[in-house]
Amino acid sequence: MAVFQPTAIIGNGRVLVTLGHSAELMAFFYPRCDHAQNVREGLTGVYLDGFGFSWLFGQEWQRQQRYLSGEAAVLTELTSPLLGLGVSVCDFVSPNEPVLFRQWQVRSLDGKPKRLRLLHYFELTLGGHDWQQAVQVITLPHPTPRPAVIQWRGNFWCGVSSDLPFQQWQCGKALPNAHNHPKPDMLDGWLNGQTLEIGKVAFSLGWQISIPPFGSVERTMVIAFGESKREVIHRLGRNLADSFETHHERHRFEWGQWLKRVKVSSLPLITNERTKSVLEAALWTMRLTWDKGAGAPVAAPEFDPTFEASGGYGFCWCRDASFVAHAFAQLGLAQKASRFFDWCSKAQSPDGYFNQRYWLDGSLAPAWSEDHDNLQVDETAAVVWAAAQVYRKLREKPSQQVWESIKRALKFLSSHLVAAVHKAGMDLWETLRGHFTYTQAAFVAAFQAGAELANLMGEQNLAKQYQGLAHETKSALLKRFWARDGFLRGFTPDGHPDPTPDASVLGVIEPFRILDLTKSEELAMAERTVRQVITHLTKETPEAGLAVWRFSGDGYAWGMASTPATLWLGLSAAALGEATGKKDWWHTARKCWLAVTHHTTPAGLVAEMFDPFGAGYWAVGHGWSAAWLVLLTERLTKAKERLVVLR
């Protein structure tokens, strides 16, 4: 199975939909943001009289894609001089239901009348399964009789219908040599009208359209999910009773209200429309990948479910989730962020640590870092650190259930020390085992956070214990992990120093702020650490940005630069700019920001990895990256040089 990258995401916090650059429907996650992936393919093509068939992903089409201002709605615009046609599609998900709205507009661009069929192909994998599916064409009774296609497997149901009735359809087998496979049957512009199929199925449907010279026509498709046939039919009928414009206005209003609740001071100051769109898309990513029902996020929408080119992304890593929760708290949404710690208290292992990654229901996801000498213990520390950040903003105590969970985590962390250094485990890049500067910094931050939370809960003796551990682990960090020109990446499991340049050493500055930048000695250490990263791990980009690699020799994702590492350097440089007042640090922060904002998907989404000298990217809709982009933009906005930064 090939791995295809989406270019845009939409959803509502319970549904997560990914789209391709040609408006392909690539994924529809329901009823959670991680499961099930209900779509194998969702493609559109045009059969034009006098020309023949053309898939919208074909080379004869030019395409643009963007988010509409102020909402998580995507407009994809395609033009073909060869066909003399323009096709636009506007996509958004209902704020309250698992319903996708797609409005298609087809235009004649060359002054000639057009006769065509706009055809859509669906291969659905309801419940995440290929087999034992059923699909049928029915008559939808409301709001007026019209055809609809429904597919089901168990309690997963999907229905597709439209404002003006489909005139063609075909259900068939999704098998390579099937005589009734609807995908190849689209190529002659006619579908055979088959109304039922079972097994490994697919279906196609479409409209016959006539367009006058320079004219246009519009059609609206509604795709609804539910747990029963009755529920899906009811959703289709109710949503088709109102116009697309009515639904779109509701969508705009709901997203506008959410945006008013988010405290983003930088957004009104940005005058460049593309930059503003990238920042909005980062906010949309944070919201869309955070599952409302679970109270936890996926790292990114899954795009590699068979783990062919990666280990997959559609799961919750507590590290990534902690960084997103922290960002939400900084943006005025601490109440939303606090739900993550309720989730953590249920997902936590009996020993107090957190596993590598989880499904959003709290069960263990496919993993390769689960042995006790292979744990990513920084994730457990990150949860405790983030809890203190969130409850400080919330100005509330955690519940007793959450507090007990935090204490179990701290007990595990304290038991995972030898001479105040964390035991060997996996690094945050999931690449090698050892003792790491970043992980040690996370331990210090966790014990500092534990002391703060213990004082908040009125447990002063416990607070003193955690504060003592924070002091011991920080002393060990500064004495053992510091080298002459900066921090070591760490030590091998058998204790040999590892001087490999690694961006994660910036964790002593951001986000954990272990180094006290008001002290000259620790400020000097921070500056040398940042310079070490700049010297060994950065490259200038064509737009005068600064891209950062995770570590020296990193070959992941074909050796692309890392968005988190680039933003990490930007945030650390901003911290030094705040501490010293030196403009050079602010210019470094700005260059990192430029590199990230200039290397997104066509729709403006940031990815985990990007090609600073091309258009490639990897892991689109990456929540950690989106969160840190927003935080860095906020830091730059508040700097004295903000007019230079955001110009």
Residue 476 has pLDDT above 70, yes or no: yes
Span 127-147, average pLDDT? 97
CATH number at residue 645: 1.50.10.20
Burial per residue of 14-53, b for 16 or more beta-carbon CB atoms within 10 angstroms, e otherwise: bbbbbbbbbbbbbbbbbbbbbbbbbbbbbbbbbbbeebeb
Asked, for residue 100, whether it belongs to a domain, the answer is yes
- 319 pLDDT above the threshold of 50: yes
| CB proximity list for 319: less than 8 A, separation 6 or greater | 376, 378, 379, 382, 428, 624
On whether residue 299 sits in a domain, the answer given is no
Residue where a domain stops, chosen among 220, 242, 259: 259
Please, what is the Cα angle at 600 between 568 and 577, to 5 degrees? 30
Domain final position from 199, 224, 259: 259
Indicate if the pLDDT at residue 364 is higher than 60: yes
Q: What pLDDT score was predicted for residue 371?
A: 84
Q: Taking 70 as the threshold, does the pLDDT of residue 1 lie above it?
A: no
Q: What's residue 478's pLDDT?
A: 98
Residue 354 in domain: no
pLDDT score at 643: 40
CB distance 406 to 342 below 8 Å: no
pLDDT, position 484: 83
512 inside domain: yes
- Is 3 part of any domain? no
Question: Could you list the residue range(s) of the whole structural domain that residue 552 is in?
Answer: 502-647
Whether residue 641 is predicted with pLDDT greater than 70 in this model: the reply is no
| Distance in angstroms (rounded) separating the CA atoms of residues 103 and 90 | 5
Confidence check: pLDDT of 646 > 70: no
Please calculate the CA angle 472-477-392 and round it to the nearest 5 degrees. Answer: 70
pLDDT of 604 > 90? The answer is yes
Spatial contact of 192 and 180, defined as CB atoms under 8 Å apart: yes
Q: Tell me whether the omega of the peptide bond preceding residue 268 falls within 30 degrees of 0, making it cis.
A: no
Average pLDDT over residues 178-196: 97
pLDDT average, residue stretch 228-250:
98
pLDDT of residue 47 exceeding 70: yes
What tens digit of pLDDT does each residue of 191-204 get?
999 999 999 999 99
User: Quick check: helix, strand or coil at residue 562?
Assistant: strand
Between the alpha carbon of residue 130 and those of residues 15, 39, 125, 152, 153, the distances in Å are 20, 10, 5, 12, 10
Predicted pLDDT at 485: 83
pLDDT at 139 over 80: yes
**What percent of the chain is modeled with pLDDT above 90?**
97
Which band of pLDDT confidence, cut at 50, 70 and 90, is reported for residue 647? low
pLDDT surpassing 70 at residue 645: no
Task: Please compute the mean of the pLDDT values over residues 350-367 and round it to a whole number.
Answer: 98
- Does residue 1 belong to any structural domain of this protein? no
3-state secondary structure (DSSP) of residue 626: helix
Q: How many domains does the chain divide into? A: 2
Mean pLDDT of the chain: 97
Is it the case that residue 268 has pLDDT exceeding 80? yes
Per-residue pLDDT tens over the stretch 519-559: 999 999 999 999 999 999 999 999 999 999 999 999 999 99
Instruction: Check: pTM over 0.95? Answer yes or no.
Output: yes
Confidence of residue 640 (pLDDT cuts 50, 70, 90): low
What values do phi and psi take at 260, rounded to 5? -65, -30
Does residue 432 lie within any of the structural domains? no
Mean pLDDT computed over 156-161:
98
Q: CATH code at 231?
A: 2.70.98.10
pLDDT of residue 3: 83
Q: What is the mean pLDDT of residues 179-193?
A: 97
Separation of first and last alpha carbons in the chain? 43
Task: Evaluate the omega torsion of the peptide bond into residue 36 and state whether it is cis, within 30 degrees of 0.
Answer: yes
Please give the Cα distance from 154 to 173 (Å, whole number): 19
Asked, for residue 226, whether it belongs to a domain, the answer is yes
Query: What distances in angstroms separate CA 454 from CA 97, 392, 449, one per listed residue?
Result: 41, 12, 8
CA of residue 19 relative to chain centroid, distance: 13
pLDDT tens-digit series, residues 269-303: 999 999 999 999 999 999 999 999 999 999 999 99
Structural domain ending residue among the three candidates 259, 291, 308: 259
For the segment 98-102, the average pLDDT, to the nearest whole number, is 98
Quickly state the pLDDT bin for 310 (edges 50, 70, 90): very high
